[in-house]
Amino acid sequence: MSFKRLDPEDFLVSSDSIVNTLWSTDTPTLTTFFTSSIQIASSAGTYYYSVYQTGSTLSNAAVQFDIAYADSKGSGSVLYNNAVPGVSPTKTIYGQYRSMILEDENSSFTFGKGTNIYTTDNFWVINFERARYKQSLFPGSLNLKLSGSNGIINLTDDSVDNPVSQFLGSTRVYQLISGSNGTAGSLANSGYVASSGSYGLVFPDLGTILLNPVAVSQSIRVSPSRSNNSDGLNNQKLFTAIDLGDSFTINSQETLTSDYVFVRARNSEFNYSENPSFISGSTGEVIYDDFINAPQVYLTTIGMYNDSNELVAVAKMSRPLLKDFTKEALVRVKLDF
Amino acid sequence: MGYLNNSVVTVDAILTTKGRELLAKNDGSFRITQFAFADDEIDYTLYNPTHPSGSAFYGEAIQNMPLLEAFPQETQIMKYKLATLPRGTAKLPVLNLGYSAITLKQGASLAITPQTLNYLGNAQAYETSGYSATISDVRLMSTFTGIGINTTAAQTSNAPITTTLGTNVSQTIIGSQINLRATTVNTLFGTNTQLSATITFVGLDSGARLTIPVLINKTIV
């Protein structure tokens, strides 16, 4: 017999969390930021700016994240139609996130918690490319520097200070605070801005950060234009703050499910080979007399078959494994999905 | 006193082309139920039972060899399976098809009844579980069926194909007799007058394996 049936206990499914760098530079921190004039000039540019790790015309350029500005009153961008006041791309963006996160068209976004909360009808959005963050952002790894006329702020999520998950609607959320590596440390107001709430909200499972313009403005004097029916260049303002900050650190996280199959060769099994060099001539005689009673074979390959004897998966050893009547083999085969 | 190495060997598996095809079908056919070992790449003539340094070095030229990564093409791997046979086996099972190569005209038929030599003390035997036959490009055959075996594996393997074949796809069938009929489709030939593929026969009990070439000659009208 050359096939051996597997028992139910030979299978094990294991799910493991894999944390990795998010940027396509394979480094934890992105220090250079570029936009594309072609993308900005396109119809998509009226909604969001795409940010690259290098010049957008270079062959290795890849979108790392997008920046957008949302305003419930439609301020900061040109109206779709002058006959319909207040309806512009920024209002569309606002409605998009309100629908997706708040799940209630009558609700507003609130930054902060406890007694220091701030409700606002506009915000900036940083939206990471799905291929970059894979399944979710890794809480505690966020370190974003924003630079403005009043200096630099270091922003992080509050996952270390408040490790119990909070939810907004059905979406996991952390507050964006002043600090580093998931904690405000000894900073005043627990990393919040006095009377303006937190700096924003971090949604790991959406790969999205919302920034509270009031808190950012109060801290570094970077604020969006809320003019009516004109392009306030608000996406450019946040991009400049990030670009001058020179440092954006965040990791991705995904759950990898692996199927382990334990294959076992008992001492009396798999001791002869159909390898043509194991036999001499066409009559099937083993090549060495020693191999009649003490065969030595070298296992190199493990094939996984279905009931129809079709080879569906295969694994190779890193080096040949000696098998004879005095040895048993136990090999764990890992299948990733 | 030293520590014993009690670690379990862990290897990463890849899906074969057939595995991906079955996974895409999503009909439950991608279900691992059995395994086999093989010693592809090993050349036993390198084993030296007269090594001057003694028996610990007989396999010296084999056991440290670097191995190649797995090939996803299922017809190119698991060629030489390890077999479970009684201790004292002097002759290993060998397949006898009666053919060393197959050449068919378009539309011609052939029935092959494999036999196994040196199996379970018999000079010649038909294996109880039958034989699998894998053709590397099933488009070359208008009929490729196995008969004579009624196991679940055989019934599953011999069910009609429901897949649209846009390229060369292998097919495995099971039976004690394998029936072939060459394709009558002219477009497969293009400007060529001949098509080629291979058929690999495996004894499902013994693990004995034999691959022969198949040639289909275009009928010129």
pLDDT of residue B119: 86
Token readout for B26 is: 């999503």
**Residue A266 to chain B, least CA–CA distance (Å):** 10
Q: Which residue of A has its CA nearest to B62?
A: A320
pLDDT of residue B172: 86
Helix, strand or coil, per DSSP, at residue A220: helix
pLDDT of residue B7: 52
pLDDT of residue B162: 58
Average pLDDT over residues A241-254: 96
Q: How far is CA B215 from the centre of its chain?
A: 18
**Residue A325 to chain B, least CA–CA distance (Å):** 8
End-to-end CA distance of chain A: 30
pLDDT of residue A57: 94
Tell me the average confidence (pLDDT) per consecutive run of 10 residues in chain B, 221 residues long: 56 90 86 93 91 88 87 85 90 90 92 91 87 89 90 77 64 91 88 90 86 88 63
- Interface ipTM: 0.80
pLDDT of residue B27: 84
pLDDT of residue B204: 86
Closest CA to B74 of B121, B132, B156: B132
Token readout for A128 is: 């990471």
Residue B206: which residues within 8 A CB-CB, separation 6 or more? A1, A2, B83, B93, B116, B119, B127
pLDDT tens sequence across A197-227: 999 999 999 999 999 999 999 999 999 999 9
A302–B contact, CB cutoff 8 A: yes
pLDDT tens sequence across A13-45: 888 889 999 999 999 999 999 999 999 999 999
pLDDT of residue A99: 92
Q: What is the mean pLDDT of chain A?
A: 93
pLDDT of residue B5: 47
Which H or E run includes A214?
helix A213-220
pLDDT of residue A281: 72
A310–B contact, CB cutoff 8 A: yes
The rounded distance, in Å, linking the Cα atoms of A102 and A180 is: 27
Q: CB B84 to CB A325 under 8 A?
A: no
Contact (Cβ atoms closer than 8 angstroms) between residue A320 and residue B29: no
pLDDT tens sequence across A48-73: 999 999 999 999 999 999 999 999 99
Q: What is the pTM of this model?
A: 0.69
Average pLDDT over residues A178-198: 90
**Residue B192 to chain A, least CA–CA distance (Å):** 31
Q: Helix, strand, coil shares of chain A as percentages rounded to 5?
A: 15, 40, 40
A326–B contact, CB cutoff 8 A: no
Bigger pLDDT: B172 or A109? Answer: A109
Q: In chain B, which residues have their Cβ closer than 8 Å to the Cβ of A307?
A: 31, 33-34, 152-153, 156
Q: Give whole-number Cα distances, A128 to A66, A89, A141, B186, B213, in Å.
A: 6, 20, 14, 53, 54
**Residue A281 to chain B, least CA–CA distance (Å):** 11
Q: Which residue of B has its CA nearest to A8?
A: B33
DSSP code for A193: B
Does the pLDDT at position A88 exceed 80? Answer: yes
pLDDT of residue A324: 92
pLDDT of residue B6: 46
Q: Helix, strand, coil shares of chain B as percentages rounded to 5?
A: 15, 35, 50
Bigger pLDDT: B27 or A173? Answer: A173
pLDDT of residue B4: 45
